[in-house]
Amino acid sequence: MLEAPTTAPIAMSEPGLSHLNAAGQVHMVEVGDRPATDRRAVAEGYIAMAPAVLALVLEGRAAKGDVLAVARVAAIQGAKRTWELIPLCHPIALTGLEVLIEPAADGSGLRLQASARTSGATGVEMEALTAVQVGLLTLYDMVKSADPAMTIGPVRLLRKEGGRKGLWEHPGAAPRAEAAGG
């Protein structure tokens, strides 16, 4: 049997913690009164792998088939199901999601970038980040027998646009090519 807490709940002290109510309890943020705006988010991540495995992937010689195509589809599917995976995310209608997978600049593996778009009352950064993570996990799964020592990361949000806060860009993100259609 659960016991009643012996201390009062902690009141929300950080104004940026929107998933806590005034009593410090977790809740799903009310977005119904927000105007719908065009919103966009771009995220990226990396998977490091042995040069021979990278060559297998880029040349289309992996035993499981077209690794890049499967990872793109998985990333899109992951973005569409974000609300089922992240407890406090709202289900949103994506109006677009583009996935770019390319060799990392230093040749150590692959860079995956996802650009998500919607017109709605809440942002799409979690969808972009989920797309990246699921895409990277799929890349790992497709070639793990050839290189189980692959490493995933870092993953980060590069930019988000729309809503009350307008444009935000990651302070350490260098300008890069974006996924097509963005």
The owner of tokens 């890049």 is 68
What is the C-alpha to C-alpha distance for residues 18 and 99, in angstroms, rounded to an integer? 29
Report whether 96 contacts 120 (CB < 8 A). Answer: no
Structural domains of the chain sorted by starting position, each given as residue range(s) with its CATH number in brackets: 37-161 (3.30.70.640)
Given this model, what pLDDT does residue 27 score? Answer: 61
pTM: 0.80
Given this model, what pLDDT does residue 57 score? Answer: 97
Q: How far apart are the first and last CA of the chain?
A: 52
Nearest CA to 115 out of 177, 23, 34, 50 is that of: 177
User: Burial letters for 65-103: b for 16+ Cβ neighbours within 10 Å, e otherwise?
Assistant: eebbebbbebbbebbbebeeeeeebbebebeebbbbbee
Given this model, what pLDDT does residue 180 score? Answer: 47
What is the C-alpha to C-alpha distance for residues 44 and 131, in angstroms, rounded to an integer? 9
**Active-site choice (33, 38, 66, 141):** 141
- Residue ranges for the chain with pLDDT beneath 50: 1-14, 180-182
Report whether 157 contacts 129 (CB < 8 A). Answer: yes
3-class SS of residue 80: helix
Given this model, what pLDDT does residue 90 score? Answer: 82
Given this model, what pLDDT does residue 166 score? Answer: 85
Residue 106 annotated among the catalytic residues of the structure: no
